[in-house]
Chains A and B, each alone.
Chain A
Amino acid sequence: MAPYAFRLALQSLIREKWINLLSILTIASGLLVISVTLFAAYNIDAATRRLPEKFSMILYLEDNTPQDRLESIMTALRKKRAVSSVRFISKDEAIKELRGLLKNSNYVFEGLDENPLPDSIEVKLKKEAVTAEAVKKISEEAQTIKGIKEVDYGEKFLAAIHSVRSGVTTIGIVLIAIISAGIIFVCYSTVKILFYRRSDEIETFKLLGATKTFIRLPFLIEGGIIGASGGLATLLGVMMFYYIVIARLSAAIPLLSTLLFPRTVFLSLPLIGLFLGITGAAIAIGRLRY
């Protein structure tokens, strides 16, 4: 039965080529929006995942903190579970680093007779501890340690990163859900039209003794092929965009070369299309009655 169902599906795809082509392009457009969303979400996620490794807290010390006090502060910090490393930065090292960073703007340091920077301790946290809440808690605890004047941990920056991440995820999920529903609707409408156009034929099949599976299978296959073709068209479009457009633009805009291509996700686009197509077709056929 299955080979014949494939034959019927292919015959219908060819016979109704324009409506099917239109559906494939519509699905491809929808999947393209999903792909762009996934591409953006994937890259934002990847970028923000790398940030915790670079994240550090700076604990500014009171002036003239004695060596034994400094040792005890550092020991206390090392004992904290979330802390991965602790490094003392003397005020001289700090100004040296600053001068290195601002070597093109040396005028900033003109007229400075003495080093205004305080001694500090750089605390790096374990990757899993870099969340806005955890960092805030550690900062508050650090501020209670005697000898620490101020804690700087880029509070707003950290909160912004987390809100960007969760925002992108939420928008991505909503967008993907809406567009997936749209794609299912396109497949539903297409198969429904094809079903109506062939209603006489289906009625004859029923009268000749065709089972529901015999009648349904070609439509499910057709819906699946339409969905999968849409997915394939999107995959080709996305690959061309990434490997040709982004690759060429990277020469002019180096930042683009850091973008990541979630190959596995994109390779599954035809499968996603197949699933959405079959779902739409199944809803369109509905319950057959004899």
Chain B
Amino acid sequence: MTVDSSIMISFSTASKEYDNQTALRDITFMVEKGEMVFITGPSGSGKTTLLKLIYSAERPDSGHISVAGWDINNLKESTIPLLRRHIGVVFQDFRLLANRNIFDNVAMALRIRGAAEREIKTKVYESLKSVGLRHKSDSYPRNLSGGEQQRVVIARATVAEPNLLLADEPTGNLDADTAEGVMRIFKNINAKGTTIMIATHNKELYRNTGKKVIRLDSGNLVDVGKG
């Protein structure tokens, strides 16, 4: 299967099951480079599974998936880290390292890539500044509010300037004002050319945005429309 160079994500009749329970069935859609896309649907509709298939935490049982030119179906285990370095992920459960300060949490994304310490320092402070948390670099996650932790995760996901940013319920635990702030950050990142895919059940996030919205229900793709 050949992939158009302008396509960032391509799903072609991709399915995934867990213990004979369908998580996703025959999903087909495409996301172009630089797009901002929302995946929506009720809890258990398969949003998180879809994101996991993109960053290769799961493999499709059938169908075909390609991400940034990588053939996910035939990706070797040793190549998975390389794919993930092209993707920034804002995890639903944050996945911040409790015993490391905010600087180190964000820096981890660069250290994993083998960046030099001087470069790490510059980029981490820049990234923290972009989410308004430069002054919290020495704090630990436990001392930060939910919204602040969410912004640290965004800083970590974007510090290495990935081609694709995935966010799983990024405003799930945030109040309306904080959620708006987080969305503003996403829009700024998208404006710089990063493709963004946001999984959310919060309709307010994509209403009147004019962005692509992929609707899932019980593992089925029910609609691809505009917000």
Q: Which residue numbers of A lie inside 8 Å of B, CB to CB? A: 1, 4, 15, 200-201, 203-212, 214, 289-290
Q: Is chain A's interface secondary structure helix, strand, loop, or mixed overall?
A: helix
Q: What number of B residues sit within 8 Å (CB to CB) of A?
A: 24
Q: Which residue numbers of B lie inside 8 Å of A, CB to CB? A: 55-57, 77-78, 80-85, 87, 89, 91, 95, 97, 99, 108-109, 111-114, 156
Contacts of B89 on A, CB cut-off 8 Å? 207-208
Contacts of A200 on B, CB cut-off 8 Å? 95
Question: Which residue of chain B has its CB nearest to the CB of A287?
Answer: B77
Contacts of B111 on A, CB cut-off 8 Å? 4
Question: Which residue of chain A has its CB nearest to the CB of B87?
Answer: A209
- Of the candidates B77, B78, B108, which one forms a contact with A208 in the assembled complex, judged by CB atoms under 8 Å apart? B108
What are 16 A-B contacts defined by CB distance under 8 Å? A201-B97, A203-B95, A204-B108, A205-B112, A207-B84, A207-B91, A208-B108, A208-B109, A208-B112, A209-B84, A210-B81, A211-B78, A211-B81, A211-B112, A212-B81, A290-B81
Distance between A213 CB and nearest chain B CB, rounded to angstroms: 10
Let me know if B77 and A289 touch, CB within 8 A.
Answer: yes
- Of the candidates B56, B85, B87, B113, which one forms a contact with A290 in the assembled complex, judged by CB atoms under 8 Å apart? B56
Contacts of B113 on A, CB cut-off 8 Å? 209
Contacts of B82 on A, CB cut-off 8 Å? 209
A209-B113, A211-B81 known, 15 other contacts, Cβ within 8 Å: A1-B114, A15-B99, A204-B95, A204-B97, A204-B108, A205-B108, A207-B57, A208-B84, A208-B108, A209-B81, A209-B112, A212-B78, A212-B81, A289-B77, A290-B81
Let me know if B91 and A214 touch, CB within 8 A.
Answer: no
Contacts of A204 on B, CB cut-off 8 Å? 95, 97, 108
**A4, B110: Cα distance in complex, Å:** 12
